[in-house]
Amino acid sequence: MTNRVANEGDAQSRESATLSVEVLLTQLREEGDLPRTQELIALSDLSLADIRRVQEAWGKISDARRLHVVQTLVEESFTNLQVQLGRLLRLALTDSLPEVRILAIRGLWEDRDGDLVGPLIHALNNDLHEAVRAEAAEALGVFVLAGELDELSPALAMRAEDSLLAVLHAEMEPLTVQARALESIAFSGETGIRDLIEDCYFSPYDEMRAAALRAMGRSADVRWRSTVQAELASPEAEMRAAAARACGELEARDALEDLIELLGDDNKPVRMATIFALGRVGGRQAREMLNALSESEDADEAQAAATALEEALFYGDAEAIPLFDETQESWEDEPDDWEAW
């Protein structure tokens, strides 16, 4: 008797969940009030049956309402770990609105399932909108990194890398797409990637040069430390911000004084990147600065400083096991004389 009651309760729960999705879809098709965020969460963690219902109804929902749904849920997922949008956003990857496709890619940023590699490559190669293609190029970096960490099959990782390299070597590709592709391919340990980053660093285009600095940070190659430290004094704010973040990712402790000076930069993205870098570089002086910044009147900077303080417990400890092979910092084995540049 107990089991029968329990089974009946489970059936009623499933029916309620199904009805809630159906009712929500009906409301979205109509031109009444938009559902609240908590009501939209019915589209989280969809069952196979429910995603088929959503797929059938999706094209009947107005552009503005589809955009509202995806934007609201993606923003909610960044702070609410209970919101699981994998199936919904995979559907949204093929939406007719480029804004929805961009949001779908961004919302899947933590999803490393190999089934996403194909759709992202398709978007990179075929989407008619440059912004979508750039977003796909950036998203593929997660899978390049997963391949390096043996968390993705070598075949899928190679597909991602090959697609990014093809974009970088194509003459007619938009600069923004190529810049994002460079930042993503930087995670690869394949031969020739460092030369590619070097070539882009000397590009005549500021966007590509800034992308090269971000790529240097992602490369985990400590031989870039002196280059990114030098760019902390760049007259261009985007270059300073990219260089500051790269200094953090490369744990460039020699750049500590320069980074502290950048905390007074007029440009907020530069200051935010510097706060991140101080958390990675670590050390007593960095922690003191971050502790003071955690009381900042600027809520974004205060939160960033608090997060960086937590990271400083793991990074920058002189007695800890280093994340990088410091012996790589010498350029003696390289054919080019970088000091002359």
Q: Quote the pLDDT of residue 323.
A: 54
Q: CA 203 to CA 175: how far, in whole Å?
A: 11
C-alpha span between 55 and 218 (Å, rounded)? 37
Taking alpha carbons only, the member of 76, 65, 128, 141 closest to residue 102 is 128
Supply the pLDDT for residue 314.
Answer: 72
Q: What pLDDT score does 17 carry?
A: 39
CB neighbours of residue 287 within 10 Å: 17
- In the chain, what are the domains? 36-111 (no CATH), 112-219 (1.25.10.10), 221-329 (1.25.10.10)
Which amino acid is located at 76 in the chain?
A: E
**Per-residue pLDDT, 33:** 85
Calculated CA dihedral for residues 246, 252, 258, 260, nearest 10 degrees: 90
pLDDT at 315: 59
Task: Please identify every stretch of the chain with a pLDDT value under 50, giving residue numbers as ranges.
Answer: 1-19, 316, 318-321, 330-341
Q: Are 247 and 255 in contact (CB under 8 A)?
A: yes
Q: Round to whole Å and give the CA distance between 193 and 170.
A: 16
- The answer to whether 130 touches 177, Cβ cutoff 8 Å, is yes
> Alpha carbon of 49 to those of 15, 18, 177, 240, 243: distances in Å?
12, 9, 37, 50, 48
Tell me 8's DSSP state: H
Q: What is the pTM of this model?
A: 0.85
